[in-house]
Amino acid sequence: MRIIYPAKSCTDAISALKTTTIQCLDCNQKGNIAAVFASSRLQSGATASTDPVERRTALSRQQPTGQSQSVYPEWLGDRSFTRTHGSRFAYVVGEMARGIATPRMVVEAVKAGLVGFYGSAGLRPETIADGISEIESGLGGKAPAWGANLIHSPQQPGYERAVVDLFLSRGVARVSASAFMSLSREIVRYSASGLSRAPDGKVARSTHVFAKVSRAEVARQFMAPPPQKFLGELVAAGDITAEQAELAAHASVATDITAEADSGGHTDNRAAGPLFSSLVQARRETCKIHTLDADQIRIGLGGGIGTPWAAASAFQMGAAYIITGSVNQAALESGLSPEGRALLADAGPADVAMAPAADMFEQGVKVQVLKRGTLFPMRGNRMWTIYQTRDSFAACTPEEQKFIETALGEPFTAAWERTRTFLADSNPRELAKADANLKYQLALVFRRYLFFGAQWAREGDVSRLRDYQIWCGPAMGAFNEWVCGTPLETLANRSVKQIAWNLLDGAAHITRMQARRASGEDIPQTAFDYRPGIFD
Ligand SMILES: Cc1cc2nc3c(=O)[nH]c(=O)nc-3n(C[C@H](O)[C@H](O)[C@H](O)COP(=O)(O)O)c2cc1C
**Mind listing the pLDDT tens digit for each residue in 321-339?**
999 999 999 999 999 999 9
User: Are the beta carbons of 152 and 180 closer than 8 angstroms?
Assistant: yes
Predicted confidence at residue 155, as pLDDT, reads 84
CB-CB neighbours of 435 under 10 Å: 12
Q: Which atom of ligand 1 is nearest to the CA of 258?
A: 19
- CB within 6 Å of ligand 1 — which residues? 94-97, 100, 119, 121, 149, 151, 176, 178, 212, 260, 263-265, 302-305, 323-326, 329, 471-473, 475
User: Are the beta carbons of 107 and 136 closer than 8 angstroms?
Assistant: no
Predicted confidence at residue 61, as pLDDT, reads 37
Q: Could you give the angle at the alpha carbon of 134 between the alpha carbons of 128 and 136, nearest 5°?
A: 105
Predicted confidence at residue 4, as pLDDT, reads 31
28-63: b (≥16 Cβ within 10 Å) or e: eeeeeeeebeeeeebebebeeeebbbbbbeebeeee
Q: Are strands 195-197 and 21-23 parallel, antiparallel or unpaired?
A: unpaired
Verify that 316 and 367 share a domain, yes or no: no
The SS3 of residue 469 is coil
Predicted confidence at residue 55, as pLDDT, reads 38
CB-CB neighbours of 64 under 10 Å: 10
Q: Which atom of ligand 1 is nearest to the CA of 122?
A: 8
How many helices (H) and strands (E) in the chain?
22, 15
> What is the 327 CA–ligand 1 centroid distance (Å)?
10
- Pocket-testing residue among 176, 263, 321, 496, ligand 1, by greatest number of atoms within 8 A of Cβ: 263
Helix axis angle for 398-408 and 376-389, nearest 10°, is 140
> Which amino acid residue places its CA nearest to atom 23 of ligand 1?
303
Q: Which atom of ligand 1 is nearest to the CA of 336?
A: 1
- Pocket-testing residue among 471, 480, 496, 499, ligand 1, by greatest number of atoms within 8 A of Cβ: 471
Give the DSSP H/E element, type plus range, for residue 211.
strand 208-213
Is residue 203 one of the residues assigned to a domain? yes
Verify that 274 and 356 share a domain, yes or no: no
Q: Are strands 115-118 and 91-93 parallel, antiparallel or unpaired?
A: parallel
Verify that 283 and 322 share a domain, yes or no: yes
Number of domains in the chain: 3
Is residue 233 one of the residues assigned to a domain? yes
Predicted confidence at residue 23, as pLDDT, reads 45
- Pocket-testing residue among 91, 93, 95, 468, ligand 1, by greatest number of atoms within 8 A of Cβ: 95
Predicted confidence at residue 6, as pLDDT, reads 33
Verify that 144 and 97 share a domain, yes or no: yes
> Which amino acid residue places its CA nearest to atom 1 of ligand 1?
471
Closest to 91 in 3D by CA, of 73, 107, 103, 104? 73
User: Are the beta carbons of 345 and 326 closer than 8 angstroms?
Assistant: no
**Mind listing the pLDDT tens digit for each residue in 71-94?**
999 999 999 999 999 999 999 999
Q: Which atom of ligand 1 is nearest to the CA of 324?
A: 27
Give the DSSP H/E element, type plus range, for residue 34.
helix 34-40
Tell me the torsion sign for CA atoms 352, 358, 360, 361.
positive
User: Are the beta carbons of 143 and 115 closer than 8 angstroms?
Assistant: no
> Which amino acid residue places its CA nearest to atom 4 of ligand 1?
96
Verify that 330 and 370 share a domain, yes or no: no
> Which amino acid residue places its CA nearest to atom 28 of ligand 1?
96
Verify that 223 and 192 share a domain, yes or no: yes
Verify that 132 and 254 share a domain, yes or no: yes
> Which amino acid residue places its CA nearest to atom 18 of ligand 1?
325
Predicted confidence at residue 31, as pLDDT, reads 52
Verify that 350 and 308 share a domain, yes or no: no
Give the DSSP H/E element, type plus range, for residue 193.
helix 185-193
Prediction pTM value = 0.88
> Which amino acid residue places its CA nearest to atom 21 of ligand 1?
325
The domain containing residue 416 runs over which residues? Answer: 339-469
Verify that 344 and 309 share a domain, yes or no: no
Q: Which atom of ligand 1 is nearest to the CA of 178?
A: 11
Predicted confidence at residue 69, as pLDDT, reads 76
Tell me the torsion sign for CA atoms 439, 445, 448, 453.
negative
* pLDDT in single tens digits along all 536 residues of the chain: 323 333 334 444 455 455 555 544 334 444 544 443 333 335 433 332 333 343 333 333 344 444 567 999 999 999 999 999 999 999 999 999 999 999 999 999 999 999 999 999 999 999 999 999 999 999 997 789 999 999 999 888 899 999 999 999 999 999 999 999 999 999 999 999 999 999 999 999 999 999 999 999 999 999 999 999 999 999 999 999 999 999 999 999 999 999 999 999 999 999 999 999 999 999 999 999 999 999 999 999 999 999 999 999 999 999 999 999 999 999 999 999 999 999 999 999 999 999 999 989 999 999 999 999 999 999 999 999 999 999 999 999 999 999 999 999 999 999 999 999 999 998 888 899 999 999 999 999 999 999 999 999 999 999 999 999 999 999 999 999 999 999 999 999 999 999 999 999 999 999 999 999 999 999 999 999 999 999 98
Residues 6+ apart with CB under 8 A from 164: 150, 186, 187, 189, 190
The last residue of one of the domains, among 442, 469, 496, is 469
Predicted confidence at residue 67, as pLDDT, reads 56
Verify that 104 and 233 share a domain, yes or no: yes
> What is the 494 CA–ligand 1 centroid distance (Å)?
18
